[in-house]
A and B are shown apart, each in its own frame.
Chain A
Amino acid sequence: MLLCIDLSGEIPEPEQWEELLDALDAVSPLIDDVRSGLAYLDMHGSPGGASAWMTQTRTLLSAYGRVARLGVGLNKIAARAAAHVADGSLCRPGSEAELLAELPLALLDIEPEMIERLTLLGIERLGDLAALPHGPFVRRFGSAAARWHELAKGVDRRPFLPRTRTVAIEASIFGEGRAVDEAQVFFALRMLLTRVCSDLERCGKRAGALHLSLELEDAGTVSYDVPLAMPTAAERTMFEMLRAKLEGATFEAPVVGLRIQARILEEGGEAQALLRAVDFDPAKVAVTIARLEAILGESVTRATMRQAHLLEERFAYEPFSLDKRKVTPLQTESDRGSAEESRTAVPQLRLLEVREIPVELRAGEPAIVDRQAVTQCAGPWRIQERPFVPAPITRDEYDVVLADGTFARIYHQGAHWYLRGVYE
């Protein structure tokens, strides 16, 4: 039997809903979390009857200040129909179709446009829908209609999908004195990480990120989110990451408390070096990036290409990560092919800080640029960015070779000339 909990009257915030579901674990460990405010509990094998389950649930919800409509049925649609008809009712096996007949189509969770369309055809209740001939109805409304038709008759083939349990793995230390230098903090971190890692191993999990909170003597709190390059349960890697993150950090007061939480928990092991086609270790990369960021105070980035006309807008930087979706992990066919081939050098443009330059024209072409004679010139190429805004950017770009051998990209915008970059 399934117990339906319907909080549709007052949909809770996602965090509150999660908290509520965690509490409902006491009623049944198998909970199908459909959406915020609607869940089904699998009550097979639970002691007591429907009324006892509902009383227990109601008591638990009232502790959180929540009032829900409850119903019990053999499947999801029956349990939901029971909750809809009257709070605390039970749909007896075999009476599903009868109970559903008078209920609105909205119970099927279909789009309002479809409900409107069906209503125009005179189908207002689930009983009307169930009475339609199955074949013609499905032919007219598509394969999804087969499911609606079955649901209207009380046949629910939707699987029960139990929500995954949230495992909280964390370790903390408070009230054990005060740490005034980094060695003491690192010592405590090592101790906490040993605990976190042993918990991770016990659960067969790997952490994708760590959250470190430091409580200071002046009642302040400093927090760090430390993403790991790949999920791991290795204490050494985690410690290196945390140490790198704390490098260069100074606190206003001694540290009196520490808490480490393992986050983004994943099942499974780590890729072994022997099986990787690339020769870098993701854990080392993550530690190095954290060190660099601690030194520079800025993110280490990678460039991504994008479509644009202006040179400076054809790329963007994003924080460097070894996200599987962003780094090609294996040698591809094209890589193997290129190993045999030879390359030709490709001119590289270097973007200089844009500065206005004096340019003299001869026959409409730049003849003297920045006080140097132009030996060769190509252009102009008209570039217009954002042409549909009131003031679009319009430029005429030229490539010029100067007498001293500089090969430069210059542009003319408005009444001024600018040096954009040089080819090297």
Chain B
Amino acid sequence: MTALASLDPTRDDKVRAFERLKAELSAKMGPASLTVEGALPTAIPEVDRLLAGGFPPGVVATLEGTAGRWSLAAGLIAELTRRSLVAILDDGTLYPPSLAEAGARLDRVLVVPARKTLEVARAVDVLLRSRICRLVLMPAIALRDAIWSRLAMLAHRSGVLLIVMASRAGAALSAAAEVRLYCAFDRAIVRGKRGLWGNFAGFDFCIDLRKHKHIPAARLGTARLRAALH
């Protein structure tokens, strides 16, 4: 009522009042009350907290940005390959030893060599329909809105999580994606001295949750994370 009572005919005041109302409602919901049912956890506490338990199944999610997105995906792959299969559509850049280092079982990762746009789309279609994997990871490709919608619908029906690795999601993908995470490099961690006597122990990066089908916009947050080499 307080928010409604303070409504002013001018547009700026309306916007301010709306923002205040959103904040009040978000605060009432309480941070602990939200958990996504059947979420696929990454077992990385900061990420799971940010995503209210993990990635929701049956959606299209994007991991955008540069450094950190594959580190995040590797955690999820490691967790899912404990009991399931995971499919990765490889454009030739996959480096399996890194995945193994993150704890992924390589014997349960299907590496699908698809490079052309049509091949990728058809392979994802087959994988989503078959439901043999809990997670399908694909590179970002230029597809029409209708195809992204179709893949999103297939993911929803099959309950398979489809993650698209994109530097920056285009308009069509952004619309189809129900979870969007943006990763940004923060700083490198150097162990020892610079040069010959030093080596990189990993890097810090920030994750910005930009969209989530179950989390209201006002509660989308960020997290800082460290990707550390063992």
Contacts and interface: CB of A to CB of B under 8 A. Distances in A.
B67 A327 contact: no
B92 A378 contact: no
A305 B95 CA distance: 11
B74 A315 contact: no
A377 B195 contact: yes
A379 B66 contact: no
Instruction: Give the interface SS of chain A, mostly helix, strand, loop or mixed.
Output: mixed
B164 to A, nearest CB: 14
A343 B79 contact: yes
B101 A346 contact: yes
B106 A278 contact: no
Interface stretch (A29-37, A107-115, A288-296): A288-296
B82 interface: yes
A423 B133 CA distance: 26
Contacts of A349: 95, 97-98
Contact of A327 (B102, B107, B230): B107
A298 interface: yes
Given A288-B132, A348-B74, A407-B67, A335 B82 contact: yes
A343 B103 CA distance: 9
A304 B105 CA distance: 10
B123 A295 contact: yes
Contact of A345 (B94, B110, B226): B226
B3 interface: no
A348 B103 contact: no
A376 B195 CA distance: 9
B161 interface: no
Contact of B227 (A299, A327, A347, A350): A347
Contact of A353 (B92, B107, B108, B111): B92
B199 A342 contact: no
B96 interface: yes
B130 A288 contact: yes
A380 B197 CA distance: 9
A346 B185 contact: no
A83 interface: no
B195 A345 contact: no
A346 B102 contact: yes
Interface size range of chain B in the complex: 35 or more
Interface stretch (B19-27, B29-37, B41-49): B41-49
A10 interface: no
B195 A303 contact: no
B68 interface: yes
Contact of A378 (B44, B66, B198, B226): B198
A320 interface: yes
Interface stretch (B51-59, B112-120, B143-151, B210-218): B112-120
**Secondary structure call for the B interface:** mixed
Contact of B111 (A281, A317, A375, A399): A317
Nearest to A315: B96
Interface size class of A (residues with CB under 8 A): 35 or more
Contacts, number: 203
Nearest to A283: B132
A311 to B, nearest CB: 7
Given A284-B131, A379-B196, A343 B188 contact: no
B227 A378 contact: no
A346 B95 contact: no
A66 interface: no
A348 B82 contact: no
Contacts of A300: 110-113
A351 B91 CA distance: 10
B123 A292 contact: yes
B74 A346 contact: yes
Give the one of A301, A335, A423 with max B CB within 10 A: A423
Contact of A407 (B119, B131, B132, B188): B188
Contacts of B113: 296, 298-301
A346 B84 contact: no
Interface string A353-374: 1000000000001000000000
Interface string A303-327: 1110000010011010010000011
22 contacts: A278-B83, A278-B84, A288-B127, A295-B123, A296-B113, A302-B107, A302-B110, A303-B106, A303-B109, A328-B105, A342-B45, A344-B228, A345-B102, A345-B228, A346-B202, A347-B202, A350-B94, A376-B190, A380-B196, A405-B66, A406-B67, A421-B95
Of all A-B residue pairs in the complex, the 9 with the closest CB atoms, nearest first, are A303-B96, A348-B70, A405-B185, A424-B70, A288-B130, A346-B102, A345-B71, A345-B227, A343-B43
Interface of A: 277-281, 284-285, 287-289, 291-292, 295-296, 298-305, 311, 314-315, 317, 320, 326-328, 331, 335, 338-339, 341-353, 365, 375-380, 399, 401, 405-407, 421-424
Interface of B: 42-45, 47, 66-75, 78-79, 82-85, 92-103, 105-114, 119, 122-123, 126-127, 130-134, 184-185, 188, 190, 194-196, 198-200, 202-203, 225-230
Given A301-B110, A345-B226, A347-B229, 5 more contacts: A285-B85, A311-B97, A342-B44, A345-B44, A378-B200
